[in-house]
Amino acid sequence: MSEHEHPESENTSRPVRNITDLARLAGVSPGTVSRALAGKSLVNAKTREKIEALARQHGFRPNQMASKLRRQKTGVIGVAIPLGHDVHQQISDTFFMTLLGHLADELTDKGYDLMLRRVIPAQDEDWLDRFIGSGIVDGVIVIGQSDQFDRIEEIADGYLPMVVWGNHQEGQRHCVVGSDNRLGGKLAAERLIAAGARSLAFLGDTEPIEFAARFAGAKEIADRMSIPIRALPTHLSADRMNGEIAEHLSEIEGKVDGIFAATDAVAVACLRELRERGVSVPNSVKVIGFDDLPIASQTVPPLTTVRQDIAAGAKGLVDLLLRRLAGVDTESLVLPPHLIARETA
């Protein structure tokens, strides 16, 4: 018989609905049951055992709602994914989803539950206030600034326990964890140029600030070396991306020999398109991605890319949030990206 069924055969009285019922059975007060089940030290070992046995036997678990209300904390961290630019972009965005997986592990480790919300700011001005103000979470992690930088800044002024994955800007007020995108962009451009490229293109959307920073970094290097670089705007949703990449490649054929893709996903699509056109990589065109997702090592040829350390990012987000939960106004954490040299550049 599963623990989940209350064995009414053994016990003719009504089921154990709460701590008081259990207290009655154990012949103690509700307070003692509460302490015993919460694992507080100040309970007689025998009493505790008896109570635990009874609880097990009746499949009883204290109501968390009541506990949370009373203690004024929920043990839940909200994770919000704002879908700003391209609503469908993140649905299967491997990077964000992997980050989420690590976050889940990290939070579980620290004894917190994770409440996930995907929000469309355009349809819901109030998304952050609502999440925060409802008393349903103790703190919030926002995955990606999307186009909500200002909104997040506003909130940060009055709400401490929030940490955001994203790009760091000089003088910003919200606590952010993220890769140094500008540096990543520099690494990418340097690599392309070192590999022999003399005319560069950035393939991707430069609206989101993370990507803007990657482009800016690459541009800084290109400008310094007097090498031209142009941005080729591309949506990141799978359906629009392929067509747009094809168009761009037609347009730049023979004029560009180094492509910096905003993400590995873009790079993979670009690689495929180049192969279909019979353009040799890296001989005729060099390509470099960003993220170092698992797919990067599976392309042909294997993709040279800029790695973001997702696990470290998740750990950083959670560590900082816990410190903020404890009242500390933490600094942002900027992680260094690393060049992963494979064969496309």
Rule CB under 8 A: is residue 275 a binding residue for a copy of itself? yes
Please report which helix (H) or strand (E) contains residue 311, including its range. Answer: helix 310-325
Partner in contact with 344, chosen from DNA, a copy of itself, none, beta carbon below 5 to 8 Å by kind: none
Rule CB under 8 A: is residue 39 a binding residue for a copy of itself? no
Per the omega criterion (within 30 degrees of 0), is the bond before 233 cis?
no
Contact in structure between 165 and 143 (CB atoms under 8 Å): yes
Rule CB under 8 A: is residue 5 a binding residue for a copy of itself? yes
Query: What's the DSSP call for residue 298?
Result: G
Query: What's the DSSP call for residue 96?
Result: H
In the chain, what are the helix, strand and coil shares in percent, each to the nearest 5?
A: 45, 15, 40
Q: How many angstroms separate the CA atoms of 27 and 8, rounded?
A: 19
Contact in structure between 324 and 175 (CB atoms under 8 Å): yes
Per the omega criterion (within 30 degrees of 0), is the bond before 282 cis?
yes
Which lies closer to DNA via its Cβ, residue 60 or residue 95? Answer: 60
Cα(first)–Cα(last) distance of the chain, in Å? 62
Contact in structure between 98 and 136 (CB atoms under 8 Å): no
Which spans in 41-180 are helix H? Answer: 45-57, 64-71, 94-109, 127-133, 149-158
12: CB partners within 8 A, 6+ apart: none
Name which of residues 105 to 134 contact a copy of itself (CB under 8 A): 105, 108, 113-118, 129-130, 132-134
Q: Which stretch binds DNA (CB under 7 A): 46-54, 123-131, 216-224, 237-245?
A: 46-54
Cβ 15 to a copy of itself shortest distance, Å: 12
Cβ 32 to DNA shortest distance, Å: 3
Which of 20, 29, 44, 63 is close enough to bind a copy of itself by CB under 8 A? 63
Which lies closer to DNA via its Cβ, residue 32 or residue 181? Answer: 32
Which lies closer to a copy of itself via its Cβ, residue 50 or residue 130? Answer: 130
Which of 50, 102, 230, 240 is close enough to bind a copy of itself by CB under 8 A? 102
Partner in contact with 29, chosen from a copy of itself, DNA, none, beta carbon below 5 to 8 Å by kind: DNA
Partner in contact with 154, chosen from a copy of itself, DNA, none, beta carbon below 5 to 8 Å by kind: a copy of itself
Which lies closer to DNA via its Cβ, residue 44 or residue 92? Answer: 44
What residue ranges bind a copy of itself (CB under 8 A)?
Answer: 2-5, 59-66, 68-69, 74, 76, 79, 90-92, 94, 97-98, 100-102, 104-105, 108, 113-118, 129-130, 132-136, 154-155, 157-159, 238, 265, 268-269, 272, 275, 293-295, 298-300
